[in-house]
Structure 1
């Protein structure tokens, strides 16, 4: 027992000396999530069986900015994992609060709400928030589908937090069982949000393409504001292709005054480096992020990148299905390259087809 207490004290001191000062400088980094990701690498498991795919930091950051998280919002993540989205929202709110300590305390006490079913992940999320001075984190351990939890979130104790206005989730992928489809998690989140609330969710690309009864239910109750195709390897080394869907809660899609905005954000210019994963090695992400956000918020139509379209539950919710090819960026060098490639291909085919060539039957 003494040895255990001594070990815990030693760990606590190490955290106080090495982790807390780091958090004061880098407030938006999910330290626990980073550690957890490294732990999975060295244990040889990615937990895909549990559907756990941690959201990269730059994705949590841009989602918070897409949702326009403000000081009057209450942010909810019903599948919070290690708390990555809540940490990104906290950083955004802190930046807007500046040095106003009253506002900063209000953010930590009343503006961040999370639900996590896995006990281990819940402990990591709680640790993450405590490290950021959030001793009153509104975190719930259990399923977001439990009626008791839903009631607490929809009609909360106003002394603790208001009904959430913004939802940010990366739900478990490929879960088995009735009512555990990724879109069921989206429906659950939107039903909890207050009317007019905004949700930004990460989903497998299949959710934007394949038929599912939840798609009709979603649009009967809520509005699909936008669909964005994310970089193919954004969740490297897990090979899932993803998209982001943006909804307005409790506003039927057919009553929406505008069309759905579709964007293709396929190149974030991150590169894969050994032992580091995907990183912004060239330092170009801030400019790319700002350009994407400008197009999204202004609902710009950019050839080859974004388009406005009227869609139903039966249509594909995918930018690539509607984007037109942008020919304005083509150059003479592009044309010459394609001609060379075709000439080489044609030569190879002709050689293989010649009499007596290798492989001839």
Structure 2
């Protein structure tokens, strides 16, 4: 795509000497060496290109296969292809990979129907900011974008939506790459990527947002992760429970009046000690207006029982609408 833009007179975003033409002109070991050198250079860039190629490395060891892949890519006119079509193709690959238990990618995949439901209930507006602190491949941000872009034809609002309204973090470099590319192909983050490769829990929120949509990772924090209690003093309670820490972080990053939809496993809602303290805070300082009980098997991880919490900051909870979509219901990705 970059080379096609150059042919139309636009400047290249790729460092000189590492463009597409340099690759397609080579064969054999020269191609392999040049490709690996190019990946290293691109991953070091401090811009959208650098994010897309975060920690990228070559997995095609045979030059003839690499040449074949490059030739297949060269045979398409990517710039003339409709943006929605490119995005849809890429997203379908992510979805298929997320449904493949052998690939292990399902841990990053939230079913599209659930994503869209959470977006519709929170109803982000085109003038608002939306964040996913554990964004995976960017499904929530993309759905929010689709929901918001039809609300106005004002060019300044649309520019704000594409380049400033959305943000996300993830700690896995490959996933950051997938998310950045996914959004870019849908016309989001064309000035700079809204995705950062960082641990959301290590930092006090730098800015408050209007809407948070998230499906935080289940289980404990990865081995070697920073002790959250040593990094932050703004959390309501100290705990090693990953889901409770994400819930606290999300509660803190909302503006007054901000809304959130968060997927959490059953045990978080009923855990004593830290869980009880956070739950009281949620009911006192937030309007926890809806809990959606999800069917077993909706996620890749087998046996996970989860709920979606919908809440608004700044108003005390009066009534909770509890929707049971689990009893006698079964959805599975198996």
Q: Is TM > 0.5 for Structure 1 vs Structure 2?
A: yes
* 1:166 corresponds to: 211
Asked if 2 retains the 8 angstrom alpha-carbon contact of 1:201 and 1:244, the reply is yes
Q: Given the superposition, is the C-alpha separation of residues 14 and 82 from structure 1 closer, same or farther in structure 2, using an over 3 Å criterion? A: farther
* 1:86 corresponds to: 141
SS in 1 for 2:151: helix
Q: Given the superposition, is the C-alpha separation of residues 173 and 20 from structure 1 closer, same or farther in structure 2, using an over 3 Å criterion? A: farther
Asked if 2 retains the 8 angstrom alpha-carbon contact of 1:222 and 1:247, the reply is yes
* 1:188 corresponds to: 249
Determine which structure has more spread, i.e. the larger CA radius of gyration: 1
How many residues are treated as equivalent by the alignment?
252
Q: Give the deviation of 1:246 after TM superposition.
A: 1.2
Q: Counterparts of 2:200 and 2:217 in 1: how far apart (Å)?
A: 12
Q: In the alignment, is residue 36 of structure 1 matched against residue 97 of structure 2?
A: yes
Aligned positions of 1:264-279 closer than 5 A: 264-266=324-326, 277=333
* 1:281 corresponds to: none
What CA deviation, in whole Å up to 9, does each residue of 1:265-319 have, x standing for no partner?
23898866xxxx48xxxxxxxxxxxxxxxxxxxxxxxxxxxxxxxxxxxxxxxxx
Asked if 2 retains the 8 angstrom alpha-carbon contact of 1:203 and 1:242, the reply is yes
> Please, which of 261, 284, 298 is the counterpart of residue 321 of structure 2?
261
Aligned positions of 1:86-235 closer than 5 A: 86-97=141-152, 99-134=153-188, 135=190, 136-147=192-203, 150-152=204-206, 154=207, 163-176=208-221, 179-220=240-281, 221-235=285-299
Q: Given the superposition, is the C-alpha separation of residues 194 and 242 from structure 1 closer, same or farther in structure 2, using an over 3 Å criterion? A: same
Asked if 1 retains the 8 angstrom alpha-carbon contact of 2:97 and 2:103, the reply is no
Q: Counterparts of 2:202 and 2:159 in 1: how far apart (Å)?
A: 30
Asked if 1 retains the 8 angstrom alpha-carbon contact of 2:87 and 2:186, the reply is no
Give the TM-score taking structure 1 as reference length: 0.60
Q: Counterparts of 1:164 and 1:14 in 2: how far apart (Å)?
A: 43
Structure 1, unmatched stretches of 5+, are: 155-162, 279-361
Q: Counterparts of 2:87 and 2:275 in 1: how far apart (Å)?
A: 39
Asked if 2 retains the 8 angstrom alpha-carbon contact of 1:33 and 1:84, the reply is no
Q: Counterparts of 2:170 and 2:221 in 1: how far apart (Å)?
A: 18
Q: Given the superposition, is the C-alpha separation of residues 248 and 202 from structure 1 closer, same or farther in structure 2, using an over 3 Å criterion? A: same
Q: Let me know the Cα RMSD of the aligned residues.
A: 3.4
What CA deviation, in whole Å up to 9, does each residue of 1:7-43 have, x standing for no partner?
57546557864995473497698345315325x53xx
Q: Give the deviation of 1:259 after TM superposition.
A: 1.2
Q: Give the deviation of 1:212 after TM superposition.
A: 4.4
* 2:63 corresponds to: none
